[in-house]
Structure 1
Amino acid sequence: MTKDDDGKREKHWSEWSDDERKRAQYDYRAKNIITSALSIDEFFRISQCKSAKEMWDTLQVTHEGTTDVKRSRKHTLIREYELLRMNNGESISDF
C-alpha cells in the first residue's frame, strides 16, 4: 500500500475491484501505445506522467498549445484572412 500525492491512501492492487483492474489494464495498454510511437525526446517529455490521459494532455499542450493559445491563433488567422486583398494589376497566379 502506498499514499498518493494528496496523502490519501491508495488501494493495494489485491484490493482492486474487477472494474478497477480492467481500467488499469486499459491505461497500461494506452501508455504502451503512446510511448511506442514517440521519439526519445518526446518520451522524456512524458516519462513522469502517471496515466495515459496525463501523457496525452501533455503532448497535446506541447504541440497544439493551450486552449487560450489556440483561440488567440485562430483569431489572428481569421483577422489576416479578412485583411487579405489583391493589389491592382495583380493576377490570381501572382496572388
Structure 2
Amino acid sequence: MASSGYSAPIPPVFSREGYAIWAVKMMAYLKAFDLWEVIETSKHLGPLREDPTLAQIKAHSEECAKGFKALSCIHASICEVIFTRIMACETAKQAWDLFKVEFQGSKQTKKMSVLNLRREFEVLKITESKSLKDYIDRLMNVVDKIKLLGKELIDKRIMEKVLFSLPERFEPKISSLEDSKDLRRISLAKLVNALQAIKKRRAIR
C-alpha cells in the first residue's frame, strides 16, 4: 500500500552509469507513493471548469501536486551533471522520456545490446581454475542484463547452458539426476547446491 503522506526516503541516485537498474528502482519508488501513474498515463490536467465545488478544487489540486512531487523525486534522484539536462523539463513525463532516449538508446541500439549479451551468454564457459559459483555468478550477471533490457531467457535454456558447460568431473551427478528425472523439476539454485555438495565431499575425502 502506498503511503498516505509524502515523507519519502532518499531515492536511488543516478549518475550516468547503470540507467536500467536505476529506472527499475525509481519506478518502484514512485509507485510506493502513488506517483508512477503521472509518468505512465501522461494525462494532462486541464483548468477547472466554472463554479467548481470544493471537492473538485481539492481533487484538482491533489492531481497537480502529484505531478510536481514526481518531478521533485526525479530531481532528487540525479546528480547535478545529469540535472542540467532535464532542468528545462516542466513535467516528470518529459524528464523520464528524455532519460530513456539518451541512456537506454533507440530500439535498434537496444536490440544490438541484447544480441551482444546473448552471444556472451553462449560463449561463456567454466574453466578448471574457476569455481562453479564464480561461473554461475558471471552467467547470471549476463542473464540479468538481458532482463533489464526487456528480454527473457527461460530457465530451461539457462539450465541447459550450465549442464553443457560443466567439466567431466560433474558427469556422475548429472547422470544421477537424469536417472531420477530430477532435472525436469529441479531449480537452478538446487542444481548448483547439488553440484557444490559433490565438490565438498571430494575435498573431505
Q: TM-score range by the shorter chain?
A: 0.5 to 0.7
Aligned positions, number? 78
RMSD of aligned alpha carbons: 2.7
* TM norm structure 2: 0.32
Rg larger in structure: 2
Mean Cα deviation higher: 75-84 or 27-36 = 75-84
Quote the residue 2:66 is aligned against.
26
Quote the residue 2:128 is aligned against.
91
Query: Secondary structure at 1:31's aligned position in 2?
Result: helix
Matched, 1:49 2:86: no
CA deviation map 1:3-62 (0-9, x unaligned)? xxxxxxxxxxxx812465443221111111111222111110111112101101212333
Query: Secondary structure at 1:48's aligned position in 2?
Result: coil
The ranges of structure 1 where at least 4 consecutive aligned residues each deviate by more than 2 angstroms after the TM superposition are 17-24, 60-68, 83-86
* TM norm structure 1: 0.62
Tell me the distance in 2 between the aligned counterparts of 1:59 and 1:25. 22
Tell me the distance in 2 between the aligned counterparts of 1:38 and 1:81. 32
User: Following TM superposition, by how much is the alpha carbon of 1:65 offset from its aligned partner in structure 2, in angstroms?
Assistant: 2.2
- Seen in structure 2, the aligned counterparts of structure 1 residues 50 and 77 have a Cα distance that, compared at 3 Å, is same
Quote the residue 1:16 is aligned against.
47
Structure 2 gaps, min length 5: 1-45, 49-55, 136-205
Query: Secondary structure at 1:91's aligned position in 2?
Result: coil
- Seen in structure 2, the aligned counterparts of structure 1 residues 43 and 16 have a Cα distance that, compared at 3 Å, is same
Instruction: Identify the structure with the greater helix proportion.
Output: 2
Equivalent residues in 2 for 1:52-91, closer than 5 Å: 52-85=92-125, 90-91=127-128
Tell me the distance in 2 between the aligned counterparts of 1:45 and 1:21. 28
Greater RCO (Cα-Cα under 8 Å, separation 6 or more): 2
Query: Secondary structure at 2:78's aligned position in 1?
Result: coil
